[in-house]
Structure 1
Amino acid sequence: MVEDQSIKKYTLLAVTLASFLTAITGSAINLAIPAIGNEFQSSTTSLSWVATSYLLACAAFLVPFGRLGDIVGRRKIFLLGVNVFFLSSLMCGFAWSMASLILFRIIQGIGAGMIFSTNMAILTSVFSPQERGRVFGISVAAVYTGLSFGPAIGGFLNHQFGWQSIFIFTSILALIVVLFTAFGLKGEWHGAAGEKFDRVGSFLYVLGITAFMYGISAMTTSPAAKFVFLAGFIILLVFGFYEVRIQHPILYLSLFKNITFAFSNLAAFISYSATFALGFLLSLYLQEIQGYDSQVSGLILLSQPVIMALLSPFSGSLSDRIEPRVLATLGMVITTVGLIPLSFLTPSTPVWLLILDLIFLGIGFALFSSPNTHAVMSSVEIRYSGIASSTLATMRMTGQAVSMAIVTLIMSVYLGDAQLSPSLYGSLLTSTKTSFAVFALICFVGIFASWARGKKQPVQAGNQPL
């Protein structure tokens, strides 16, 4: 019993540290976007790729690595992921051009894909169904804690030492996670040991989703993007037809016959599509339009994730007792309402009003995320937890990539490919408000997807695909 509790403690700590690391990296770099643009003389479209390239790579590799983790061991893939994340973070800090920075961000995204595809599956393997709501809440709280510290730390480091210091700082954190995982996380967990890895399906999936997402993001800036988008869509269709015909696919599409699983994943996709770009947009708004430095902007943006970090463990524990769809749908409603005022921003919007709205949004995010994760992971048998974890993470990362793609699309309409300057601040504000109006509409649709998942049903052995 003591050994069992020790395994649980170190497993939760390792996953929590990795969740914190990936979150703080993403939120910290948002505060350095204007500085990176100034150093490399980059347009707003190029700057959006600093975030989008990472998200696209992560989304593309999540499902293959989730399946590979089920076969060769989830700890192996998790540990490899934190190592790749460490090395790529270090290289980002020494990037000499926008192209090199984006390349290293792609590698960083692949490492994050290894982490995200296995972290929830490891927790599911170690903790009983009665404990999962609580530990998922703690893991989600670690993400939000990282998001909380990210703007403040990123703004401070960028202001005092330059944007490169953010990546150096996160590489040090990553090294700590590497050492702890290597020496503290004992044991190994498989979901499909001995089964064959689907190389053809993996290739089709990575190629298809990369082309599909790139096509969306570059639709207004590249004449060939619409053909790339179409090619990606066709490849994903071929992938789907192929997967349902083989014995051991990388993605059991029949899992989506489970209403709770399908709509919980859809709700996650919609939620992140409607909310992820918020930090990117508000960082530009606060620094370029309101004139705050990155340090002060980071402190302002701190208000939202702090609330999420405080409330996520509570909402996770609550989802062990209350239907997850009730809590998650309430969170989606609150988020929708919170996005609407952001579509009416002006150059003179009071900061205190923005902070209040960010706090309100934080409550909505916290009520949605932990219960929604609980709903997904509790809707399948434990042997499919790796697939469920990677699928949910794919929905999250793909949603985040779509969120950035929407912003890139709208900004390219209003700003073109020009470098930011005071003469374009009016167009920047218009594109920001338009983006938030679109996000509020998307989130409104998500309310219905969240409620449509139905009540949580007990998982019966044998009712999942073989």
Structure 2
Amino acid sequence: MIHLGAIMSNIVDRIGMEKSVILLAAVVSFVTAFLANISVALPLIARELAMSNIIQNWVATIYLLPIAMLSIPLGKLTSKHGLNKSLLAGIILTIIGVIIACFSINSELLLLSRVIQGIGTALINVASMALIVSAVNPETRGQALGLNIAGVYIGLSSAPVIGGLVIYHLGWQSIFYIMLIPLIFSAYLSWSLKDEWTMYDGPIDITGSIIFSIGILLVIYGFTIVNTWLGIVLLIIGLLLLIAFAYFELRVNNPVFDVRLFKNSRFSSSNIASLISYTATFVITYILTYHFQYIMGFDSKFSGMLLIVTPVMMAILAPLSGRLSDRIDPQKLAAIGMGFVTVALTILCFLNESTPLYMILLAMFLQGIGYGLFSSPNTNAIMSSVPKEETSSASASLAAVRVIGQTLSLGMLTVIFAYIMGNVAIVPEYYPLLMESSRLSCIISAVLCVIAVVASLVGLRSDDEYET
């Protein structure tokens, strides 16, 4: 252990602190993206642990829920106690959650492990993005953020392929086993960094943090059962709590999140575009996973090979678009990217049992191009539209809207499943209803993408300047 620590310290000394931070952020982004995209394992998990279609979706949703709840409150907390220290704590928590998942013998234990992974990931997401902004020169910030996002897309792209392969031969638990290696590596790399970054020394707004977390919990859970009266009531209460949170934050001296940042139209429009885009697109991977394995009858290994198309295109284009966003208005690039995604999802609106595979792959290819053009510039627009002292808040906002969008995306699919299929196991007699659910989800997602294009363009008319 000591020898490994010395090796990691030597790596930091040789490549330099700034590059070590970029490497660390890329590795942890890879891991969290991989853990978020375990869709290829869900059919096997559901079969072995006797899960219905609703619980099956919750294996993914319950991982994202604590991230959505905690991202904003953790912004000031990580900035106060140290970004690298907070990142290391998040990595350790994620390791604990992954180990529990490896030994889960029932759905309850697996869901608990996913909650712990989500809490660790919340710390990782907030601290890693703020760490890049704090440690990397502004002139190369867009490129560094692009490399970080490339790590996300490499995780997304490798999860179906590597996951599908190891699951096919070793069982679904193996998708968690293999994440222990990069997690342990990143823990040592974080521990080996000699510097620490703190940007806030005031009190923590505990009241605001509690209001926000409960509000988000009620909104997301209420949305997943919005087809019931209880869901509608919880959704309304959650929205009222979030309004109360904004009102409260305007009146305290040290808010957990400075809602005045949303007065900057570039910041607000880019966040709205990010929220809508994730709500529209995150569900597509799950729709295609179910289509490949249930409708087309492919095994997890071949399905994983097919699902690589979109994230590979994202991984290729994210660093390039990030570099371009240092020279071209990032919101122009973001709007163009969402235009490509809209075309891709329009194709998938006609998905049925006879849709040829090449049409599905074309849609995935276009979606990958579009999101690769959108994500890095949109991230740069958000992180560069605030003063340096607010980078942790911007990072928390970015993490929150991304995960809230992803959670709402899966919630949308869960609601559609409940409305069209009911709470049933996905078996051949329900395949027609599965296809109907998939088409409706794609139609809603395509409409949301059009709105995201408009949101990206709104910020172009602003006089607000970027802090680059």
Per the normalisation by structure 2, the TM-score is: 0.95
Structure-2 residue corresponding to 1:176:
185
Q: Does 1:427 align with 2:436?
A: no
Corresponding letter in the other structure for 2:459: R
Matches within 5 A, 1:167-206: 167-183=176-192, 185-192=193-200, 194-206=201-213
Structure-2 residue corresponding to 1:127:
136
Query: Compared with structure 1, are the counterparts of its residues 263 and 337 closer, same or farther at alpha carbon in structure 2 (3 Å cutoff)?
Result: same
- CA-to-aligned-CA distance 1:254-305 (integer Å, 9 cap, x gap): 0000000000000000110000011111111100000000100000011111
Give the SS at the match of 1:453. helix
Q: Distance in 1 between matches of 2:14 and 2:138?
A: 16
CA drift of 1:459 comes to 4.9
Corresponding letter in the other structure for 1:230: I
CA drift of 1:460 comes to 7.0
Matches within 5 A, 1:25-44: 25-27=35-37, 29-44=38-53
Structure-1 residue corresponding to 2:3:
none
Q: Distance in 2 between matches of 1:140 and 1:175?
A: 21
Structure-2 residue corresponding to 1:442:
448
CA drift of 1:318 comes to 0.6
Q: Distance in 2 between matches of 1:176 and 1:133?
A: 25
Q: Distance in 1 between matches of 2:208 and 2:13?
A: 39
Residue 174 (structure 2) aligned to one of 147, 150, 165: 165
Q: Distance in 1 between matches of 2:451 and 2:247?
A: 28
CA drift of 1:8 comes to 0.5
Contact 2:384-2:467 within 8 A present in 1 as well: no
Structure 2 unaligned spans of 5+? 1-11
Contact 1:379-1:456 within 8 A present in 2 as well: no
Structure-2 residue corresponding to 1:367:
373
Q: Distance in 1 between matches of 2:463 and 2:365?
A: 29
Identity %: 36
Q: Distance in 1 between matches of 2:311 and 2:303?
A: 14
Contact 2:36-2:63 within 8 A present in 1 as well: no
Structure-1 residue corresponding to 2:284:
278
Structure-2 residue corresponding to 1:7:
17
Q: Distance in 2 between matches of 1:277 and 1:191?
A: 36
Q: Distance in 1 between matches of 2:428 and 2:194?
A: 55
| Stretch deviating more after TM superposition (140-149 or 350-359) | 350-359
Contact 1:80-1:111 within 8 A present in 2 as well: yes
Contact 1:290-1:348 within 8 A present in 2 as well: no
CA drift of 1:386 comes to 0.3
Query: Compared with structure 1, are the counterparts of its residues 80 and 456 closer, same or farther at alpha carbon in structure 2 (3 Å cutoff)?
Result: farther
Q: Does 1:323 align with 2:329?
A: yes
Q: Distance in 2 between matches of 1:400 and 1:189?
A: 29
Structure-1 residue corresponding to 2:338:
332
Q: Distance in 1 between matches of 2:252 and 2:334?
A: 35
Q: Distance in 1 between matches of 2:463 and 2:157?
A: 31
Matches within 5 A, 1:46-445: 46-183=55-192, 185-192=193-200, 194-220=201-227, 223-445=229-451
Structure 1 unaligned spans of 5+? 462-466
CA drift of 1:458 comes to 3.6
CA drift of 1:234 comes to 2.1
Query: Compared with structure 1, are the counterparts of its residues 4 and 265 closer, same or farther at alpha carbon in structure 2 (3 Å cutoff)?
Result: farther
Q: Distance in 1 between matches of 2:248 and 2:98?
A: 36
Per the normalisation by structure 1, the TM-score is: 0.95
Contact 1:65-1:77 within 8 A present in 2 as well: no
CA drift of 1:457 comes to 4.5
Corresponding letter in the other structure for 1:336: T
Query: Compared with structure 1, are the counterparts of its residues 268 and 299 closer, same or farther at alpha carbon in structure 2 (3 Å cutoff)?
Result: same
CA drift of 1:94 comes to 1.2
- CA-to-aligned-CA distance 1:126-173 (integer Å, 9 cap, x gap): 122211111011111111111111100111111111111111112333
Contact 2:27-2:182 within 8 A present in 1 as well: no
Corresponding letter in the other structure for 2:199: G
